Amino acid sequence: MLVRINAIALNTFREAIRHRILYLLLIFAVAMISFAQILSLLTVGSEEKIIKDFGLATIDVFGVLTAVFIGIGLVSREIERRTVYTLLAKPLHRFEFILGKFAGLSITLLVNTAVMTLWFFLVLLLKGAFDGTLALAVLLLYFQFLLITAMAVLFSCLSTPILASVMTLALYVIGHLLWSLDLLAARLTAGWGKFLCRALYFVLPNLGTFDIKGEVVHGLPIDGTRILWAAAYLVLYGSAILWTACAVFERKELQ
C-alpha cells in the first residue's frame, strides 16, 4: 500500500512543479518579502518587527494560495484527462489515490515553504535581525497549509474547481475568525443560538491554533504545549477530513 501511495505522491509532485502558477506565486512571495524592507521605512514602528510580521504574513498568504490553486485540481484534473481510469484500473484502491495526491502536494508545499523561508531568513540576516524562533511560526504555518490542502482535496472530490476554491478560501477566512463565535456564544443566553455557536466553534477548522506570528514577532514566550497541541489538532482534524475525502471519492461515480 505504501509503495502505491508513494508512487502517486511522487508523480503528483512532478506534476505540481510543472505548474506555472506555482512559480508565479513563489516569485510574488519573494518579491513581497523583499518589499518588506521598503515598507518598514515608510511605516511608523520598529523596523525589525514590521519586516518579521510582513514576511510571516506573506508566507502565510502565498502558502495558502498554493495549497488552494494546486490542490483543487488534484482530483478533478485527473477525471477531466481521464487518466484516473487508467490508474484505478491497476491494483490501486481509491483511498490510496487520494492519500497519494495529498502526500504529493504536501511535499510540494514543503519545498515551496522552504524556499520562501530561506529567502525570508536571508533578508533578516542582511538586516541583522535574524531570530531563530521564527522557525516555529513557519512550522505552524506549514501545519496550517497541510490542513488547507486536506480541505482542498475534499472539496475537489465534491464539486467543480471554481466552487472548491471558493469554499476552501472561505473556510480559511472563517478558521481565522472562529474566535468571534466563541465570544458570541459567551454573550448569548442559553438557547439554540448559544448551542449553534458552540457546535460551529468545534466543527469548523480552528486555524488560530497555528497562528503564533504575534508572539514570535513581539518576542513573547511560546509554550511548548502550544506546538504539541497544534500538531495533535492537525493529525486529528486532518485525518477526519482525509477520511471524509476518501469516503466521498469511494462513492463518486466517474463518468
What is the DSSP secondary structure assignment for residue 209, as one 8-state letter? G
- How far is 248 from 155, CA to CA, in rounded Å? 10
pLDDT of residue 221: 82
Confidence of residue 250 (pLDDT cuts 50, 70, 90): confident
Q: Which amino acid is at 23?
A: Y
Rounded to an integer, the average pLDDT of 226-242 is: 93
Question: Per-residue confidence at 88, pLDDT binned at 50, 70, 90?
Answer: low
pTM for this predicted structure: 0.89
The pLDDT of residue 113 is: 93
CA 92 remoteness from chain centre: 27
E strand or H helix that includes residue 97: helix 94-127
pLDDT at 194 over 80: no
Amino acid identity for residue 135 in this structure: A
